[in-house]
Amino acid sequence: MKTSSQAHGRRDGQRNGRRDRIGWPSTIILLLGAFYCLMPVAWVLMAATKSTAELFGTFTFSPSGNLFTNIANLTDMRDGLFWRWMGNSALYAAVGGGLSTLISAMAGYALAKFNFRGKKLAFNILLVGVLVPGVVLAIPQYLLLAKVGLTNTYWSVLLPSIISPYSVYLARVYAGAAVPTDVIEAGRTDGAHTWRIFRSIAMPMMLPGLITIFLFQFVAIWNNYMLPFIMLGNDQLYPLTVGLSSLVNQGSQYPAMYALVITGALLSIIPLIALFLSLQRYWRVDLAAGAVKA
């Protein structure tokens, strides 16, 4: 018995030793990755506190005391145009993300729980749509919207953002896993119609996945540059991405613009951080993992 216990102890010790040896390189790689991702954020945070002279002077990570001055200058620029850009980004991301989540929920639920002619073909087309980059569709979308006179309007950014093949795919995966068919059949037995079953039974069960889809879409629309750049010509309609890019283009003639751009970039990430912190309890990393496995 002692010999067997000692053998088990040695094997356990060997396993723990192998885990420790494997764990250290992984930890180092993760730390390097975190450093690589957070370093630009730290630089923006420090650079936003500097004046134009300090920004082009010695490169240091030490903060200065000009943050509120830079924010005031940014606010004064063309009667608060920056805050209009911020509002436009919030409008595009919130409305586009919300409508996209609702449509994705309905489409994903239908693909997961209903049998109909052409279902397999529709799903295959959806997978093809996932593989097509959004940049490829920007020019065709512009030409289509130009035909109906919707370019250079809020609709020209909102309408293409409503349909997301990847969001529909995620909703289909989550609906198939989170909504039991027996519960749907029980609702039908009780006399509930299809829309009420979806609204009152399926959507509450899908809520964590829908919050995740909304976060994906909100961030994607908030950070989208190419689509609004092509669709919009009026700077009053610009989102932050296009607006700040226009300030960068003016930096060669007016170097003070660079300080405003960096301060604006810092302010632009605050809503995203607030959104993630407020919805983090709904965050489901395993949704994306499940989508990869499906």
Give residue-wise pLDDT tens across range 51-95. 878 877 766 777 788 889 889 999 998 888 999 999 999 999 999
Residue 174: closest CA among 142, 153, 198, 205: 205
Please state, as a whole number, how many other Cβ atoms lie within 10 Å of the Cβ of residue 263: 26
Q: Where are the alpha helices (DSSP H) in the chain?
A: 2-47, 52-55, 67-76, 81-113, 119-131, 134-147, 155-162, 165-178, 181-189, 194-197, 203-222, 226-231, 240-250, 256-279, 285-293
Instruction: Give yes or no for residue 201 having a pLDDT over 80.
Output: yes
Instruction: Give yes or no for residue 113 having a pLDDT over 80.
Output: yes
Instruction: Give yes or no for residue 239 having a pLDDT over 90.
Output: yes
Encode pLDDT of 33-47 as tens digits: 888 888 888 888 888
Q: How far apart are CA 211 and CA 208, in angstroms?
A: 5
Asked if residue 212 lies in contact with residue 282, where contact means CB atoms within 8 angstroms, the answer is yes
Instruction: Give yes or no for residue 276 having a pLDDT over 90.
Output: no
DSSP state for residue 237 in the 8-state scheme: G
Mean pLDDT in residue range 125-145: 87
Q: How far apart are CA 238 and CA 85, in angstroms?
A: 6
Task: Please tell me the predicted confidence (pLDDT) of residue 13.
Answer: 52
Superfamily for the 68-293 domain: MetI-like (1.10.3720.10)
Task: Please tell me the predicted confidence (pLDDT) of residue 169.
Answer: 92
Q: How far apart are CA 171 and CA 178, in angstroms?
A: 10
Residue 104: closest CA among 49, 166, 168, 154: 168
Instruction: Give yes or no for residue 115 having a pLDDT over 80.
Output: yes
DSSP state for residue 56 in the 8-state scheme: T
How many residues comprise the chain?
Answer: 294
Asked if residue 46 lies in contact with residue 262, where contact means CB atoms within 8 angstroms, the answer is no
Q: How far apart are CA 39 and CA 48, in angstroms?
A: 14
Q: How far apart are CA 81 and CA 263, in angstroms?
A: 14
Task: Please tell me the predicted confidence (pLDDT) of residue 181.
Answer: 87
Instruction: Give yes or no for residue 166 having a pLDDT over 80.
Output: yes
Task: Please tell me the predicted confidence (pLDDT) of residue 136.
Answer: 84
Percent of the chain with pLDDT over 90: 36
